[in-house]
Amino acid sequence: MSPYALTRTLPEDATGAALRSDVLAGLTGSPKTLPPKWFYDARGSELFDEITTLPEYYPTRAEREILVARAAEIAAATGARTLIELGSGSSDKTRHLLAEFPELTHYVPVDVSESALRGAARTLLAEHPALAVHALVADFTRALELPPTPGPRLVAFLGGTIGNLLPEERAAFLTAVRGLLSPGDSFLLGTDLVKDEATLVAAYDDAAGVTAAFDKNVLAVVNRELGADFDLGAFEHVAVWNAGREWIEMRLRSTVAQTVKIPALDLAVTFAAGEELRTEVSAKFRREGVQAELAASGLELTGWWADAAGRFALSSSSVPTP
């Protein structure tokens, strides 16, 4: 394998087609929803980077704390020669792992953004010139074809992103991950943990209003890509803790009765005053719940690392030995 390769498994218009499908299904459903992946155009990514530096938003700092303190321990536990990262983005957190994995020779970042993959590869190869990087432009929620790489392999899904999947989506995702693993391979999963409501709500509704701008950015994306006429000023950001389901819901509440036109879909969407559009679910977890969900997909929990304050956890799991 050359030091860098890139494989595209998404059709060129896959993103546009997915957006049209998601907006049509989400805005004609009840309640109305939009998937959180559409926050992340260039502006949305900038806003999220800003969110991760806010005093209220603890998950990024907590996960980084674990990676810095425990990367060598995770490396020893998994013995990985190949790291496969799902939803890799800028691969920023990956650096903490690469520095402590002495046997690692191959890195396979998987993301829908080709530009993010190319930028991350340039940075990582400058720091680790002997590392073979094979980037995949792919949607990790769909079936993946991974390049041949040496084992043991470590599949990583960091950032607590699994919390954005609904329970049935999580089950399907974890089952798909199980299908990627051979005996001796491991799965490294980042999960935000259940904690007090005030801390959770503040993390998704910061005093500076950055998360509110991030939430509304999904409307800006629909406006730009589908010709819609959402008035961002006619919606307000809401973050709610659902104690029964143990997840945060981010919503956009219509402040007036209004009709939004989306020409690309030949669709007109009516909102009552006070009606809410759900834009994100962010589930929080307990160790026993993570263990049970992994077991249901055919994976056995083998390691658990939390930050000092018990806010966030990384877990390792593998295919059980017969």
How does residue 96 score in pLDDT terms, banded at 50, 70 and 90? confident
The pTM for the full model equals 0.93
User: Helix (H, G, I), strand (E, B), or coil: what is residue 21?
Assistant: helix
Residue 94 Cα distances to 55, 112, 134, 157, 288, angstroms: 23, 17, 15, 11, 27
Q: Is the pLDDT of residue 1 over 50?
A: no
Q: Tell me the pLDDT tens digit for each residue of 192-211.
A: 999 999 999 999 999 999 99
Q: What average pLDDT does this structure show over 182-194?
A: 97
Tokens encoding 8? 């595209």
Which range among 79-88, 113-122, 278-287 has the greatest average pLDDT? 278-287
Q: Is the pLDDT of residue 186 over 50?
A: yes
Give the separation between CA 242 and CA 249, rounded to whole angstroms.
Answer: 7
Give the separation between CA 65 and CA 321, rounded to whole angstroms.
Answer: 31
